[in-house]
Amino acid sequence: MIAKRSDGALNLIFDADDTLWDSNIHFLEAEAAFVEKLGGAGISDDREIRSAMRRHELRIIESHGYGRRPYLMALHKVAEELAHPRHHGNLRAEVERIGERLIDRHCELLPGVAATLGELARRHRLLLFTKGDPGEQLRKLDRSGLRPLFKRVGVPAEKDPANYRLLIAQAELDPSRTFMIGNSPRSDINPALRAGLRAVFIPHPHTWELEHEEIDHADERVTVITAFPHLLEVF
């Protein structure tokens, strides 16, 4: 369902990773490199490796949040659990090299993002609300060149209904005129709806599996589009 146009500025809240720029694909590439290195250390069962990775990721996220460093901590834990001790030193070095490559990845915008945001910023209030490590996310935002377009930037530890309600209060947003725009049902769409906002869902082919959830497509507050530039048709 396409949101109706209305006179006056709306509040458009944007996710960042896999909405404005690619993110999870780089972690998938890092995972593939790690699985290959473990194979060289004699661990050839991909399912065992990936199962251990998800288990350690979830545990570390609970205490350290999201981002590159918690991800690398999980890889170190997997290497220590599965590999023979004689391989631990080499694997620790390999994991750190994988981490350096993650840092070096250029923050390449998804197609149409810069032009679309530039046009939307002329007539609406743009906010950024993306979870993760604040330092990492702000560095990516600076590299993207998009920071001047956003009136407010927030990097919460988690994007749940309580944090959306806090954003609404702190930024003095009218929920009926506010839209959350992102690729994640779990973090962008469903919690925003529970907090009373409207939402625009832009699916991304590499959305992290832990961000998948069912969306109530019958909810008239939800708009689904297939590409970022289509926001100009919505707003």
Cα dist from 135 to 11, 29, 42, whole Å: 25, 22, 36
pLDDT exceeding 90 applies to what percent of the chain? 73
Q: According to the model, what pLDDT value does residue 4 have?
A: 43
- pLDDT of 5 reads 42
Q: Diameter of the chain by CA atoms?
A: 67
Closest C-alpha among 166, 199, 165, 163 to residue 184:
199
Q: Which pLDDT tens digit goes with each residue over 161-176?
A: 999 999 999 999 999 9
The stretch 81-103 carries a mean pLDDT of: 89
> Region 69-73: what's the mean pLDDT?
91
Alpha-carbon distance of 200 to 223, in angstroms, equals 5
Task: Give CATH for domain 24-104.
Answer: 1.10.150
Average pLDDT over residues 22-43: 90
Instruction: Grade residue 91 by pLDDT with cuts at 50, 70 and 90.
Output: very high
For residue 3, the model assigns a pLDDT of 45
**pLDDT cut 70: percent of the chain above it:** 96
CATH number for 11-21+107-234: choose from 3.40.50.800, 3.40.50.850, 3.30.1490.20, 3.40.50.1000. Answer: 3.40.50.1000
Alpha-carbon distances of 64 from 19, 51, 52, 54, 61, rounded to whole Å = 23, 20, 18, 15, 5
Question: Could you tell me the CA-to-CA distances from 226 to 32, 49, 107, 214 in Å, in that order?
Answer: 28, 33, 21, 17
In terms of Cβ atoms closer than 10 Å to its own Cβ (0-12, 13-18, 19+), residue 137 is buried
CB distance 73 to 53 below 8 Å? no
Tell me: the pLDDT tens digits for 96-112?
A: 999 888 876 667 899 99
Q: Which of 193, 196, 195, 191 is nearest to 222 (CA)?
A: 193
Q: Is 78 exposed, middle or buried (0-12, 13-18, 19+ CB in 10 A)?
A: buried
Q: Strands 178-182, 11-14: parallel, antiparallel or unpaired by DSSP? A: parallel
Residue 20 scores a pLDDT above 70: yes
CA distance 33 to 39: 10
Q: Please tell me the predicted confidence (pLDDT) of residue 104.
A: 61
Domain coordinates of the chain in residue numbers? 11-21+107-234, 24-104
pTM: 0.89
With cut-offs at 50, 70 and 90, classify the pLDDT of residue 2.
very low
E-strand stretches of 97-188: 125-129, 152-154, 178-182
Model confidence at 221, in pLDDT bands (50, 70, 90)?
very high
Predicted confidence at residue 7, as pLDDT, reads 52
